[in-house]
């Protein structure tokens, strides 16, 4: 015979708190849910502003799709930061912007001036980026330099090399002009008849890298080792993991991704600019902001690819929305302000989540049969 229980008055009073518990304990822990909610709020707010005529241009699907050309490099560099930060011990890479500039110059010289085939030039540029990342990794993992100092030093070094090698002039030519087609907008296959055009780089650069990164992080031994050394370096050593080699490979991977972004920027700008990754506020700081906003713990060991992709989309669409509301140079400054506010908000949220998790761990576990009144 099955006992039927009816909700008590106390249980009914607790009903409203379940939604609050889901928000603070579930939705906020699942960064993807929170980011999706923020994207929806942004789209609704901009649609209202566009409807009442407070924007300088039309806020529609065509405008949002066109902004994805900036989404590709930012999302890729945030993935690079995901590998480095997850490796722990203060892992960070401030030099990714300089690596983008330098590898873009190297790619243009190989493709335009030396005359190598496109595929060979791309592979060599990515390999060169991996070599630059290996320098960061060797100094950090094997010689023990703090990642912040190492990558700040190589930021200046790689940036200066790019300027000197290119004589501070963009590299362009017929072959590079034709390569611009790699960043053009295309119609989605099969279902793209009534949909906006999407930049080709989303399919040729971002999606392949994202799929490979997801597989490496979630389905390979290296991915498990990377999360392990980021969570507890000493315990990982006791488990037999070569922490130095694993950490160095994270920087090599970040360098290879930065090299691919360098190739993409050549197509995006139809020339190789020696300041492609360092002009303005550069690409490194937005990439780190996106990584933190996407849920990557700055202490290492925690980070998911889905959060990175959604956080990059939120930042790109937020910047594009600001330019519609505040056009001109004031809009560019407002973008920096918004970036800082978003970074602070993400940090506060991460701290709150960690405190809640630690509080949950500190709570004594209940053992069946030991509750008051139990027999």
Tens of pLDDT, residues 160-218? 999 999 999 999 889 888 888 777 887 776 666 677 888 889 999 999 999 999 999 99
The predicted pLDDT at position 366 comes to: 40
Q: Is the pLDDT of residue 29 over 70?
A: no
Interval 248-269: pLDDT, tens = 999 999 999 999 999 999 998 8
Contact present, 292 and 286 (Cβ < 8 Å): no
Q: Helix/strand/coil (H, E, C) string of the chain?
A: CCCCCCCCHHHHHHHHHHHHHHHHHHHCCCHHHHHHHHHHHHHHHHHHHHHCCCCCCCCCHHHHHHCHHHHHHHHHHHHHHHHHHHCCCCCCCCCHHHHHHHHHHHHHHHHHHHCCCHHHHHHHHHHHHHHHHHHHHHHHHHCCCCHHHHHHHHHHHHHHHHHHHCCCCCECCHHHHHHHHHHCEECCCCCCCCCCCEECHHHHHHHHHHHHHHHHHHHCHHHHHHHHHHHCHHHHHHCCCCHHHHHHHHHHHHHHHHHHHHHHHHHHHCCECCCCCCCCCCCHHHHHHHHHHCCCCCCCCCCCHHHHHHHHHHHHHHHHHHHHHCCCHHHHHHHHHHHHHHHHHHHHHHHHHHHHHHHHHHCCCCCCCCCCCCC
Residues 174, 158, 98, CA angle at the centre, nearest 5°?
70
Cα 287 to its chain centre, rounded Å, is 5
Cα 302 to its chain centre, rounded Å, is 14
Contact present, 225 and 207 (Cβ < 8 Å): no
Contact present, 196 and 64 (Cβ < 8 Å): yes
**Given the structure tokens 């590998």, which residue do they identify?**
83
Burial label, 86 (beta-carbon count in 10 A; 0-12, 13-18, 19+) = buried
Lowest mean pLDDT among 18-32, 114-128, 214-228: 18-32
Q: Residue 337, Cβ neighbours under 10 Å: how many?
A: 10
The predicted pLDDT at position 339 comes to: 82
C-alpha to C-alpha distance for 162 and 17, rounded to whole angstroms: 57
Say which residue, 372 or 332, is predicted with more confidence: 332
Q: Is the pLDDT of residue 1 over 50?
A: no
> Cβ contacts of residue 143 below 8 Å, gap of 6+?
none
Angle subtended by helix axes 221-231 and 68-86, to nearest 10: 70
Interval 105-119: pLDDT, tens = 999 999 999 999 999
Task: Give me 181's structure tokens.
Answer: 């087609």
Mean pLDDT calculated for residue range 22-45:
76
Contact present, 105 and 172 (Cβ < 8 Å): no
Domain boundaries, the chain: 71-318
pTM: 0.85
End-to-end CA distance of the chain: 22
Percent above pLDDT 70 for the chain = 84
C-alpha to C-alpha distance for 13 and 17, rounded to whole angstroms: 8
C-alpha to C-alpha distance for 248 and 129, rounded to whole angstroms: 14
């Amino acid at each position: 015979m099955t006992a039927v229980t009816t909700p008590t008055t106390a249980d009914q009073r607790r009903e409203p708190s379940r939604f609050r518990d889901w928000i603070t304990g579930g939705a906020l822990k699942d960064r993807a849910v929170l980011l999706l909610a923020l994207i929806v709020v942004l789209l609704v707010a901009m649609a209202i502003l566009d409807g009442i005529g407070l924007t300088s241009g039309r806020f529609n699907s065509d405008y949002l799709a066109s902004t994805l050309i900036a989404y590709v490099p930012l999302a890729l560099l945030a993935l690079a930061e995901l590998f480095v930060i997850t490796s722990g011990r203060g892992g960070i890479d401030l030099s990714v912007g300089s690596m983008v500039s330098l590898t873009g110059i190297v790619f243009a010289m190989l493709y335009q001036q030396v005359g190598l085939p496109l595929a060979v030039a791309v592979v060599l540029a990515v390999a060169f980026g991996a070599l630059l990342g290996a320098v960061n990794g060797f100094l950090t993992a094997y010689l023990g330099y703090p990642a912040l100092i190492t990558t700040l030093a190589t930021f200046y070094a790689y940036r200066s090399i790019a300027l000197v090698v290119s004589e501070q002039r963009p590299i362009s030519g017929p072959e590079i002009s034709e390569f611009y087609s790699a960043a053009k907008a295309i119609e989605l296959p099969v279902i793209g008849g009534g949909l906006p055009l999407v930049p080709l780089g989303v399919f040729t650069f971002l999606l392949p890298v994202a799929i490979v990164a997801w597989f490496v992080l979630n389905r390979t031994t290296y991915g498990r080792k990377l999360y392990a050394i980021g969570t507890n370096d000493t315990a990982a050593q006791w488990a037999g993991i070569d922490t130095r080699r694993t950490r160095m490979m994270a920087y090599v991977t970040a360098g290879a991704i930065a090299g691919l972004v360098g190739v993409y920027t050549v197509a995006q700008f139809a020339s190789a600019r020696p300041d492609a990754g360092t002009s303005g506020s550069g690409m490194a700081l937005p990439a780190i902001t996106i990584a933190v906003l996407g849920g990557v713990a700055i202490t290492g060991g925690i980070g998911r690819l889905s959060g990175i992709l959604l956080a990059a989309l939120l930042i790109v669409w937020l910047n594009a929305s600001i330019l519609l509301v505040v056009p001109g140079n004031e809009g560019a400054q407002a973008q920096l302000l918004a970036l800082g506010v978003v970074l602070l908000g993400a940090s506060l949220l991460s701290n709150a989540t960690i405190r809640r998790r630690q509080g949950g761990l500190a709570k004594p576990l209940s053992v069946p049969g030991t509750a008051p009144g139990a027999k």
